[in-house]
Amino acid sequence: MKKLFLLITAVALLTACASVDEAENMANCKFALKSVELTNYNLTSFDFDVIIAITNMNRREAASLKRFEGELTVNEEKMADVILNEMTIEPNSTKNTKAKLNVPMTAFNSKLLGLISMGSGTLDYHLTGTMYFEGPMGAEIPVPVDIGRIGSYN
């Protein structure tokens, strides 16, 4: 009975240590907002593809993201909520992930619409939110993420 208890305790500790390692790997990842591309538009909304690059800096272990919840702003105006699902980023590599957004026309103010219609304005893209990864015993551990990109719309 004592051996069974020790075995269960050892397995639980090893599982917890593995989860902590994965959590540490995810917290050490680098995030970059690669691009925000207009893919379609009509009288009521715009469709965008948002590309986010996640780089796992660990050379030996994969990083596991449970989910990401955030919001995209353009020139400090909220455009849309961004959600990424579970993924694994291999050791010492970068994974580009895409979120498809549908932004209603009502989210745009006249200044932003003017910049987009001119095709030559500078738009500041910014993505803030929280990434969640699995911690010991299935607990979700939140880590805030704040990434941005200043770039030309062209």
User: For residue 65, what pLDDT is reported?
Assistant: 83
Q: For residue 98, what are the contacts with CB-CB under 8 A and spacing of at least 6?
A: 49, 50, 51, 52
* Three state DSSP letters for 33-57: EEEEEEEEECCCEEEEEEEEEEEEC
Answer yes or no: CATH 2.60.40.10 is held by domain 2-152.
yes
Query: The whole model's pTM is what?
Result: 0.67
Residue 8 has pLDDT above 80, yes or no: no
So where are the chain's domains?
2-152
On whether the CB atoms of residues 51 and 21 are closer than 8 A, the answer is no
| Degrees to nearest 5, angle at CA 130 with 58 and 45 | 120
Higher pLDDT, 22 or 144: 144
Distance CA 85, CA 50 (A): 14
What is the share, in percent, of the chain residues with pLDDT greater than 90?
5
Helix (H) or strand (E) holding 58: none
Average pLDDT estimate for 112-140: 71
Where b means 16+ CB within 10 Å and e means fewer, 98-108 reads ebebebeeeeb
Helix (H, G, I), strand (E, B) or coil at 106: helix
User: For residue 17, what pLDDT is reported?
Assistant: 47
What's the pLDDT band for 72 if we cut at 50, 70, 90?
A: confident
Helix (H) or strand (E) holding 136: none
Higher pLDDT, 57 or 114: 57
